[in-house]
A = this chain, B = another copy of it.
Amino acid sequence: MSTSLRIAVLGASGYTGSELVRLLMRHPNAKIVALSAESKAGKTMAEVFPQFAPFDLPRLVKIEEIDLDTVDVVFCALPHATTQLVLKDVLTRKPSLKVIDLSADFRLADPDAYAKWYGHEHQALELQKEAVYGLTEIHRAAIAKARLVANPGCFTTTSLLPVIPLLAERAIEADPIVVDAKTGMSGAGRAAKEAMLFSEVAEGIHAYGVASHRHTAELDQEYSLAAGRSVIATFTPHLTPMIRGIYATIYLRTAEGFGPARLHEILAARYAAEPFVTVLPLGQVPQSRHVKGSNHVQIGIVPDRIAGRAIVLSTLDNLVKGASGQAIQNMNVVTGLPETTGVDQIALFP
């Protein structure tokens, strides 16, 4: 394997950025050639993330300082809204780039949905049309042909994988789907905010963004696609005092003739050949700690004691399969590398 993809990471001073660097440094076919950060430009990665102190890495620069001629693949871990302007410019300067975008900017195919959930018109509609939603296990074929991959949100990856095959098989009712999700704090990023201080977060739990979290729009889009009809999900995220991990508890109504055992069969069959998705034996419950640091998803199905209902539980590491790991998985698909290359780490437990 002599391929060596030359990589630029835009937004390397945030958590998804550092996670990309952690994984790409050990990817046998990748070479990091540029790292950008705005307010921290000029610093070394070791100053911004001391875990990189033992290693040689490019110094952080501003985006405009990057020589795109030396770059094959761009990972973009910038804030939403900024992203669409940056990527329009970058892809204009070098149209042959492959881009994996970790922001929300290109996830919604419908410009109206984008405008509604994000509060402004999209500024790069052509690119939005072109972008492929990067839920690898579901959209692999389209991703393989894409130039711009819109990497899914962490909550959505967790909540889509166990439900889409059931909708596709019409094994569950499309309404109601209730997703009660719990996330670790790293999903909130590295910006200094009072509500994210250790003393405000440890030793407590709370819901936030109830009925208004933007990842809901992705759930609607992908659930609807799978169901072949419009689906409106109930989605409630909670902040949990842990760094990494997303856990979704999903309450479903089974369709006529489909019990929990049948649902389990469908999911087990659907993901049997997938290296990153494990469907646990019926009745077994996953734990977020058992996927921490890895690109794995674990899914459990438990019969409710009420006939006609099932509970599906799904968990992943929000920074890996929920962000940077799936991004690299998508790069592998886009560039024709074996899909697990560089993202086959085993979960760190305890």
Interface residues of chain A, those whose CB is within 8 Å of chain B, are: 15, 18, 22, 25-26, 49-55, 176, 178, 180, 182, 184-186, 188, 190-194, 196-208, 210-212, 216, 232, 234, 236, 238, 240-245, 247, 249, 251, 275-276, 278, 280, 285-294, 296, 298, 302-306, 309, 311, 313, 315, 319, 344-350
Contact = CB atoms under 8 A, between A and B. Distances in A.
A18 B240 CA distance: 23
A287 B242 contact: no
A182 B238 contact: yes
Contact of A292 (B54, B203, B290, B306): B203
Contacts of A210: 285, 302, 311, 313
Contacts of A201: 198
B288 A236 contact: no
A309 B309 CA distance: 18
Contacts of A236: 180, 249, 311
Contact of A242 (B54, B203, B208): B203
A161 to B, nearest CB: 14
Contacts of A238: 182, 247, 249
B198 A243 contact: yes
A206 B247 contact: yes
6 contacts: A22-B347, A50-B290, A54-B275, A192-B197, A202-B243, A210-B302
A244 B243 CA distance: 13
Given A305-B232, A349-B18, A50 B293 contact: no
**Which of A192, A287, A291 has the most chain B CB atoms inside 10 A of its CB?**
A287
Contact of A194 (B190, B276, B302): B190
Contacts of A242: 202-205, 241
Contacts of A290: 49-51, 53, 204
A193 B287 CA distance: 17
Given A54-B275, A180-B180, A211-B302, A205 B347 contact: no
Contacts of A52: 346
Given A54-B278, A234-B311, 5 more contacts: A51-B296, A180-B249, A182-B205, A203-B245, A204-B245
B205 A202 contact: no
Nearest 9 pairs of A and B residues by beta carbon: A204-B289, A206-B287, A51-B347, A199-B350, A198-B201, A180-B180, A51-B290, A185-B198, A210-B302
A70 to B, nearest CB: 23
A71 to B, nearest CB: 22
Given A53-B298, A211-B304, A232-B305, A241 B202 contact: yes
A23 to B, nearest CB: 8
Nearest to A317: B348
